[in-house]
Structure 1
Amino acid sequence: MHTNTIFVLQALTLTAACFFSSSMMAKSLAITLDDSPRSATGYFDGPTRAKELIAEIERHKLPQIAFFSVGNKADGEGKKRLIQYANAGHIIAHHSNTHLDFNKHSLSEYIADFEQAEPQLNTLPNYQRWHRFPYLREGDTQEKRDGMRRYLKEKGYLNAYITLNNYDWYLESLFQKAIAQQQKVDFEALQKLYVELIIESIEYYDQMAVEYLGRSPKHVLLLHEMDITALYLGDLVEALREKGWKTIPVKEAFHDDIADYQTKKVFKFNPGRIGEIAYDNGKRKGLWHHSLDETYIKRRFETEVLGNLKH
C-alpha cells in the first residue's frame, strides 16, 4: 500500500476515534426548579426574584427549564410569578397541592392532594403533564409506590425523576437566616460556595452513572426556585460549561432511556434515578454525597461566608 494512503487511513482512524471518544465523554444536563412559587419574604420579594431569575436565565442563554409548582401557592402574586416564567418560555409542571410528604400519608390522601393541584396548575401557559414527588418520596411501601405508578400512567403523567441531587435549599435557609439576623454576608464567598457544592454533587452522580450505567446520561438537575438561584444560577452554568457540560431543554433530557427505568426497590428516601440504578446493581453505600450533608454545608457556610467577616 502506498505510504500516503496509509497516512490518510491512519489520520481518518485517529479522527474517528477522537470523535467517538468525545461523543462518549459528552456531558449534558437540564435544569429544573422545584417548589415554585416558593415563599419570598427574605432577601428578595416574589416579583424581584422572578425578574432577577428570568434575567439570569436569559443573560446566560439557558434553554427551556421546568418549574415544578405547588398548587396552593399558585394564586395571587405566586400565580403571577408562574405566568411570568411561562411567558418567558419555560415549563410549568406538577409538584402536588401542598408539598405533601408521601411517606406520611396514604395513597388515597396523596391522590386527593394531587387532584386538588390540577385546576390550579393545568390552566397555566406551558403546562406539562409531569409530576415530581415532593422530597423525591415516591412511596414507602410497595402498595403506595405501585399505586402511584399506575395512577400517573392512567393520567398520562411522566414521573419527572432527577439524576443530580443536592441540598441547595439548605444553603438558602442558612443565607435567609443570616439576612434575617442582619449578619454580614460575604456574597462573593456565597457565590463560590453555591457553585462548588452543586458541582461536587453533579460530578459525583455523573461518575456513579458512568460506573453503573456505562455512560453519562442526559442528566436532570434538581434545584429550587429561590433567591440564591436567582443570584447565582448563571455562575453555576458558566462554571459547568468550563468543565465541558452542555445545558439542554428538559424535554430532551426526559427522552433519555433511563426515563423508562423502574427500580424494584422501595425507597423510603429516594436518592434519584442514578442512585436507584446504582443500588439495583449492588451499591449499598454512598448513594448520597457528602455535599448533601447539612452539617457539612453549615460548617462551610459559617466558616467561608460568615467567618471571614467576623472581626
Structure 2
Amino acid sequence: MKHLLIPLLLSSLLCTAQQKQIAITIDDAPIMALPESYTPAQLKATNEKLLQKITALHTPVSIFINAANCITPERLQLLKQWVNNPLITLGSHTLNHSNCADLSIDSFKMEVMINDYIIRSVAKGKPVPYFRFPYNAMGKDSMAQALRLEYLKGKNYTAVPFTIESDDYMYETLYQDALKKKDKEKAKEVATAYIKYTLHCFTYFEQLTKELFGRDISQIYLCHVNQLNTDYYGELMKALQGRGYQFVSLEKAMQDKAYTTPVYYHQQYGFSWLFRWIPETDKRKQYLRNSPEPDIYNAYEALKAKK
C-alpha cells in the first residue's frame, strides 16, 4: 500500500505546485465611469447579481472605487454591499476617474484625499490598501510618476498593476446596444466574442510571461463592473479554472517576485505591466504590435461615433 500512496502523493504535490494563480480586480465599482446608459434599477441589479456570483464561486476580488459616482443614497447603498462582502478587498481609483497624466501633482493629491475620505467613511474600519490609476496612466513622465507613487506610499497605498485585460468596455458597449434593441441573438454573439477574445488574450500574455520570466507568474486580471461581466462572470471564471487557474487574493498574487521587476516604461499609455517590464524599447514595441486586438473594434468605433 505504501508503494501506491507515495507516487499518488508526489503526483498531487506536483499538480498543486504547477497550478497557475490569478487575482481578479474590478474597476469602477459599484458604478461604471460612464453610468448614464444604466437605469437605477439596472445598476442595482447588475451590482447585486455580480456580488452573488462572486460569493457563489468564492472568488476573492479587489475593487477600485470612484467615490464621485457613489454620492447618492442609492449608490452609497450599493457600495456598502461591496464593502460588507468578506471576499472583497477595497481600493481607490481617484474621485472622478481622471487621467492622472493630465493632472498637476496638487490636483492628483486632492483627487486621492477626497476619494479616500469618502471610501473610508463607508468602509467603517475595513482596510483600503490599494490604489489603481484610472486608465493605468501614472503620469506623463518618470518624474511625475515618481512623485505620485511617493505620495501614495505616504498614504499607505500600494499602487496596483495588471498583467491581463481584454477591452471589456468595448464589448459592453455593443452588448448594451443589443440589449436595448432587444436583439438577444446579437447580445449572445457579442458575449461569445468577448469570452473568446479574453481567452485569446490569456494565451498571448501567458506566453509573453514565460518568455520574460521563464515560468508562469501570478497574473492580475483587470475588468470592470458592467452588465456583460455580470451576466458572464461564471462562464469566464470557469473557463479560467479550465486553464488551470486558482483564484487568489491580490495580496497573494503580488507576493510573486515578478512584481518587484523594475518598470522601464514611463510614458502615459496604460498597457500591461508585462510590456512595461521589458527594458528594450524596440522589443517592447514589437510585442505591443503583436498583441491581440478586439475583433469588434470597428463596430465599437462606429457605434461610438453615432452617439
| Shorter-chain TM-score range | 0.7 to 0.9
Task: Give distance in 1, aligned partners of 2:50 and 2:184.
Answer: 23
Which shows bigger deviation, 208-217 or 99-108?
99-108
Q: Which residue of 2 aligns with 1:111?
A: 109
- Mapping of 1:208-227 within 5 angstroms? 208-227=208-227
Task: Give distance in 1, aligned partners of 2:289 and 2:45.
Answer: 33
Q: Which residue of 1 aligns with 2:246?
A: 246
Q: Which residue of 2 aligns with 1:129?
A: 129
1:28 maps to amino acid: Q
Once superposed, what is the RMSD of the aligned Cα atoms? 2.8
What is the count of residue pairs matched by the alignment? 289
Kindly indicate whether residue 61 of structure 2 is the aligned counterpart of residue 65 of structure 1. yes
In the alignment, which of 34, 42, 46 is matched to residue 38 of structure 2? 42
Q: Return closer, same or farther for 1:291/1:265 CA change in 2, 3 Å cut-off.
A: closer
1:78 maps to amino acid: R
Contact 2:26 2:223 in 1 (8 A): yes
Which shows bigger deviation, 115-124 or 89-98?
115-124
Contact 1:26 1:244 in 2 (8 A): yes
* Residue 107 of structure 1, CA deviation: 2.2
Task: Give distance in 1, aligned partners of 2:152 and 2:113.
Answer: 11
2:296 maps to amino acid: I
**2:284 aligns to what SS in structure 1?**
coil
1:42 maps to amino acid: Y
Contact 1:26 1:216 in 2 (8 A): no
Contact 2:163 2:272 in 1 (8 A): yes
**2:28 aligns to what SS in structure 1?**
strand
In the TM superposition, what whole-angstrom CA distance separates every residue of 1:120-159 from its partner, at most 9, and x where no partner exists?
1122333422110000111121221111121112221101
Q: Which residue of 2 aligns with 1:305?
A: none
**1:263 aligns to what SS in structure 2?**
coil
* Residue 290 of structure 1, CA deviation: 4.9
Which shows bigger deviation, 173-182 or 239-248?
173-182
Q: Which residue of 2 aligns with 1:198?
A: 198
Q: Which residue of 2 aligns with 1:85?
A: 82
Q: Which residue of 1 aligns with 2:228?
A: 228
Task: Give distance in 1, aligned partners of 2:242 and 2:16.
Answer: 17
Contact 2:80 2:122 in 1 (8 A): yes
* TM-score w.r.t. length of structure 1: 0.82
Higher-Rg structure is 1
Q: Return closer, same or farther for 1:244/1:68 CA change in 2, 3 Å cut-off.
A: same
Contact 1:168 1:223 in 2 (8 A): yes
**2:246 aligns to what SS in structure 1?**
strand
Contact 1:72 1:98 in 2 (8 A): yes
* TM-score w.r.t. length of structure 2: 0.83
Which shows bigger deviation, 187-196 or 227-236?
187-196
Q: Return closer, same or farther for 1:280/1:128 CA change in 2, 3 Å cut-off.
A: farther
Q: Which residue of 1 aligns with 2:20?
A: 27
Q: Which residue of 2 aligns with 1:286?
A: 287
1:69 maps to amino acid: I
In the TM superposition, what whole-angstrom CA distance separates every residue of 1:207-239 from its partner, at most 9, and x where no partner exists?
111110122111110000111111001100111
In the TM superposition, what whole-angstrom CA distance separates every residue of 1:135-184 from its partner, at most 9, and x where no partner exists?
01111212211111211122211011111122001111122233345545
Task: Give distance in 2, aligned partners of 1:35 and 1:292.
Answer: 23
- Mapping of 1:119-198 within 5 angstroms? 119-125=117-123, 126-198=126-198
Task: Give distance in 2, aligned partners of 1:268 and 1:101.
Answer: 9
Gaps of 5+ in 2: 302-307
Task: Give distance in 2, aligned partners of 1:236 and 1:246.
Answer: 13
Which shows bigger deviation, 217-226 or 47-56?
47-56
**2:216 aligns to what SS in structure 1?**
coil
* Residue 113 of structure 1, CA deviation: 1.4
2:272 maps to amino acid: G
Gaps of 5+ in 1: 1-7, 303-311
